[in-house]
Structure 1
């Protein structure tokens, strides 16, 4: 059972006109899959489709914004009409509108939610309906983020969506188990234009653009490489070799593969008859405060 042979398989990759989505689509094509490429920009989508074909795969293009149910239905219908089947839905499309909470507008919030969260829902639902009717199982791969695992300053909507996406993956893994459909969340980390705007990475990103290899500490401790470094996880999850894997949040970036924990109870205390505010204060100060967990990611030194 090879994790690298997707001959005869058909995948949809939303938001695959550039960046991580393009890397996923090309890697799937290289593994032998046919790919439905999706983006809102026609030129970018067509360019990705040509790269998929050059890698040895087949490709079709759907230019449409992700979020509306009509787009999701069209993506599934295109896979079936062009290639005869659908085996994997990779819901990757997203947008950013980064602002601190008190400066974020309703329009910013709604756009991020519509693309990331609603887009993952409508595409996942359309794929699930097809898989259940076809009766041959399938793969749904949702794309999360460390922001959804830890929180991220200035990314209220994005972090909330990415946390919700992981929760959807776990829920759908339960709902679709009898249909033989696996559902997992990928947590990608890569050195991209967005990452390069972070002060901690501006210098190393510029050197990366100039062709210098990323330092080992960045590839490992920071889990940052190229978008292509993330693609093997998508290929594996789309293959028969991952048939028993579902409901997981799995990260890949640079040299580091990460399995994320499910949220779990950290500690409990009981009080006969219930708690008073002062009782909570006392046990917090004496015992629980030392166990409190910080928000946000931590970064290893680069030198």
Structure 2
């Protein structure tokens, strides 16, 4: 696989997951437009990429507005002559429970994640269709958007919306040979370091230590570099037949998220009255009601050093 000759934009790529994506795309041969809101952070990212033999330029601006989207595409075309790949990664958090969430908390997250994804993809897709050589749209989702998470009304809404838009874009852009996919990463970043459940693993990664198998396999939790390969694959010609998908990745785990679909159906001549629902709903659907939130399995108890290792075959 090679991305030689390709040009990519990665929003929110000054640090963390975004920087890992930009670095890997450059390593595979793509020229990259880096984006961040901090000039020094953006300059450092460009320096790291060019220092490793890649090519990169920076656009320092917050995503959300049409003006930033236009500036990003213009930078790609003016600096490198074309555009082939867009990765929408930029994001912020304003976590709090529903009854304490302010309008600004909600609007800020929606503007950066959801509107920022929309404006950047709209601008990139418009250019890619005119360029006429296909392209790759890769949007970053989250398990919170798939399952919900306590204290993240705004973030859950934005990330669920992103995956919904990706499914729509996969249909709308197919005739132009432009794929649209979502990636659902789980990794040690500034956004996960404050989660108590992940703290020990984030701290281990910060110390340069290998995360334990429980984190990497059971939780599917790893480092930003563990996610970057999926981004480069979806950006490549090898993934030309993959579109409209939500691909989960973290640690040693690669997964494909299902699209929402009916899990049970029932029919009543003339439709369903309140009385009929009261009588029948539990017997019809009580055993298939869907769970919410991400399940967090507890780590196994440590075994004595002389205990024999159990043989296990994973089945999924």
Normalized against structure 2, the TM-score is what? 0.93
| Unaligned 5+ runs, structure 1 | none
1:204: which partner in 2?
Answer: 201
CA contact (8 A) 1:249 1:259 kept: yes
Give the deviation of 1:124 after TM superposition: 0.1
**Deviations 1:40-63 (CA, angstroms, capped at 9, x unpaired):** 000111111111112332001100
User: Match of 1:193, SS?
Assistant: coil
1:136 to 133, 136, 139: 133
1:217 correspondence with 2:214:
yes
- Structure 2 distance, partners of 1:49, 1:302, is 39
Which stretches of structure 1, 4 residues or more, deviate above 4 A after TM superposition? none
| Unaligned 5+ runs, structure 2 | 301-316
2:84: which partner in 1?
Answer: 87
Give the deviation of 1:300 after TM superposition: 2.0
CA contact (8 A) 2:7 2:32 kept: yes
- Structure 1 distance, partners of 2:191, 2:179, is 30
Normalized against structure 1, the TM-score is what? 0.97
User: Match of 2:191, SS?
Assistant: helix
- Structure 2 distance, partners of 1:15, 1:223, is 23
**Deviations 1:127-183 (CA, angstroms, capped at 9, x unpaired):** 010011111111111110000000011000100000000000000010111111000
- Structure 2 distance, partners of 1:106, 1:242, is 40
1:281 correspondence with 2:278:
yes
Deviates more, 1:102-111 or 1:45-54: 45-54
2:257 to 250, 256, 260: 260
User: Match of 1:71, SS?
Assistant: helix
1:151 correspondence with 2:148:
yes
- Structure 2 distance, partners of 1:260, 1:90, is 19
Query: RMSD across aligned C-alpha pairs, in angstroms?
Result: 1.0
CA contact (8 A) 2:14 2:36 kept: yes
2:113: which partner in 1?
Answer: 116
User: Match of 1:140, SS?
Assistant: strand
1:240: which partner in 2?
Answer: 237
1:299: which partner in 2?
Answer: 296
CA contact (8 A) 1:12 1:35 kept: yes
Give the deviation of 1:207 after TM superposition: 2.8
User: Match of 2:181, SS?
Assistant: strand
- Structure 2 distance, partners of 1:249, 1:59, is 28
- Structure 1 distance, partners of 2:266, 2:156, is 30
CA contact (8 A) 1:14 1:38 kept: yes
Give the deviation of 1:299 after TM superposition: 1.6
- Structure 1 distance, partners of 2:202, 2:60, is 30
- Structure 2 distance, partners of 1:111, 1:279, is 43
Give the deviation of 1:85 after TM superposition: 0.5
